[in-house]
């Protein structure tokens, strides 16, 4: 095992193909650890000094800890790339080399301990690889609950959805389908050659919704919008993105931004025009995403961070992210 420290963005971009290969062969369980998501994040935000650890075995990438170093009031903290816009974060470790690669990763961080004070693994999901690292006697590690991420367990077939989703929500969904069925409506999905109008509509709808509440909303920030503009084409190319737009009578009524990966689907953000509240465009788009996830064989639908009531209305149950904080005693 050979571990190296990557401190240059160009070097990080250069390993993108290896990074994606590691992520796809089992190193990553969510889109938030993919290069399609994290490289655009680093390009736009760069909140500190890049401090990413790469581990190779026989010249093959077998582990990656996408980190940066923040020098702030809590000292020199190592934090995950993607922080704030990511609902999950983790290190990537090849399942065939989990113990040895993890040990090499920790050894490199130990060797560079004079350069940092604390490693804070934020928003680690319950199955995160970072939670399985074998800490030696020189390390102090503490863990605490971080954020609730409600998850709906999906049935095997679409026909079984009424048994998985509470009856009240099923009635609401069917009623919304009946209401839009009386109008001229369609749902279209973003494609690699046609995504910008759908993303712009999402920005506009989301902002419209939050302005009505006298709040800016998460997409009001120019850098956040620029990040998504860079991430969307990469996510589409990687086959991860589900960006959809609902039109009713040739007017955009709602938009949905989520991800599909393996046995999981993820609902990231959405927006709708309050003028179409009667037709419930949010319910239509979310129900369509859940139905599509079930149809393709997914077993979990993740509503991601936050305990909004509508998530539990769909039958989701809390699953808690963890915050793992590590110090090297050396």
Supply the CATH number for residue 6's domain: 3.40.630.30
Q: Are 156 and 280 in the same domain?
A: yes
Question: 38: domain range?
Answer: 2-146+321-328
Residue 313 lies in a domain: no
Distance CA 218, CA 188 (A): 24
Distance CA 36, CA 10 (A): 15
In the chain, % helix, strand, coil (3-state, to 5) comes to 40, 30, 30
Is 191 buried (19+), middle (13-18) or exposed (0-12) by CB count in 10 A?
Answer: exposed
The pTM of this model reads 0.95
Q: Are 160 and 123 in the same domain?
A: no
Give how many domains the chain has, as a whole number: 2
What is the model's pLDDT at position 136?
A: 76
Residue 308 lies in a domain: no
Strands of 67-72's sheet, edge to edge? 49-50, 67-72, 75-80, 118-124, 320-328, 139-148
Residue 93 lies in a domain: yes
Q: Are 297 and 174 in the same domain?
A: yes
Q: Are 190 and 142 in the same domain?
A: no
Buried-state track 20-44, b at ≥16 Cβ within 10 A, e below 16: bebbeeebbbbbbbbbbbbbbbbeb
Q: Are 258 and 123 in the same domain?
A: no
Q: What is the pLDDT of residues 102-149, one digit of tens each?
A: 999 999 999 999 999 999 999 999 999 999 998 876 789 899 999 999
Least confident span in 72-76, 158-162, 167-171, 194-198: 72-76
What are the strands, taking DSSP E only, across 20-156? 49-50, 52-57, 60-65, 67-72, 75-80, 92-93, 118-124, 139-148, 151-153
What are the strands, taking DSSP E only, across 149-272? 151-153, 185-189, 241-248, 251-261, 264-272
- Angle between the 222-237 and 35-44 helix axes, to the nearest 10 degrees? 150
Least confident span in 19-28, 281-290, 308-317: 19-28
Residue 314 lies in a domain: no
51 contacts: CB under 8 Å, gap ≥ 6: 5, 7, 67, 68, 69, 78, 115, 116
Mean pLDDT across the chain, nearest whole number?
Answer: 94
Give the confidence band of 233 by pLDDT, cuts at 50, 70, 90. very high
Q: Are 120 and 178 in the same domain?
A: no
Residue 293's nearest CA partner among 301, 285, 305 is 301
Distance CA 147, CA 307 (A): 9
Distance CA 162, CA 195 (A): 32
């Amino acid at each position: 095992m050979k571990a190296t420290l990557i401190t240059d963005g160009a070097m990080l971009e250069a390993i993108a193909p290896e990074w994606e290969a590691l992520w796809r062969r089992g190193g990553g369980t969510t889109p938030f650890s993919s290069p399609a998501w994290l490289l655009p994040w680093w390009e736009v935000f760069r909140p500190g000094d890049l401090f990413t650890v790469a581990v190779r075995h026989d010249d093959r990438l077998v582990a990656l800890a996408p980190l940066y170093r923040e020098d702030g009031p809590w000292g020199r903290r190592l934090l995950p790339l993607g922080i704030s816009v990511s609902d999950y974060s983790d290190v990537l470790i090849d399942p065939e080399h989990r113990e040895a690669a993890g040990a090499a990763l920790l050894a490199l961080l130990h060797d560079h301990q004079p350069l940092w004070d604390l490693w804070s693994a934020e928003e680690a999901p319950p199955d995160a690889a970072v939670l399985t690292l074998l800490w030696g006697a020189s390390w102090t590690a503490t863990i605490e609950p971080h954020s609730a991420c409600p998850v709906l367990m999906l049935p095997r077939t679409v026909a079984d959805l009424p048994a998985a989703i509470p009856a009240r929500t099923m009635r609401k969904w069917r009623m919304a389908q009946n209401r839009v069925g009386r109008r001229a409506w369609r749902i279209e999905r973003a494609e690699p050659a046609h995504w910008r109008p759908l993303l712009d509509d999402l920005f506009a709808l989301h902002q419209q919704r939050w302005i009505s509440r006298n709040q800016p909303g998460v997409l009001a920030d120019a850098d956040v919008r620029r990040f998504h503009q860079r991430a969307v084409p990469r996510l589409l190319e990687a086959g991860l993105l589900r960006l959809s737009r609902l039109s009713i009578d040739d007017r955009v009524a709602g938009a949905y931004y989520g991800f599909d990966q393996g046995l999981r689907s993820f609902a990231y953000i959405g927006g709708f025009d309050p003028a179409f509240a009667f037709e419930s465009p949010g319910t239509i788009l979310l129900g369509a995403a859940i139905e599509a996830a079930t149809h393709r064989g997914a077993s979990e639908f993740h509503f991601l961070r936050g305990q909004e009531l509508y998530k539990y209305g769909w039958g989701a149950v809390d699953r808690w992210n963890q915050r793992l904080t590590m110090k090297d005693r050396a």
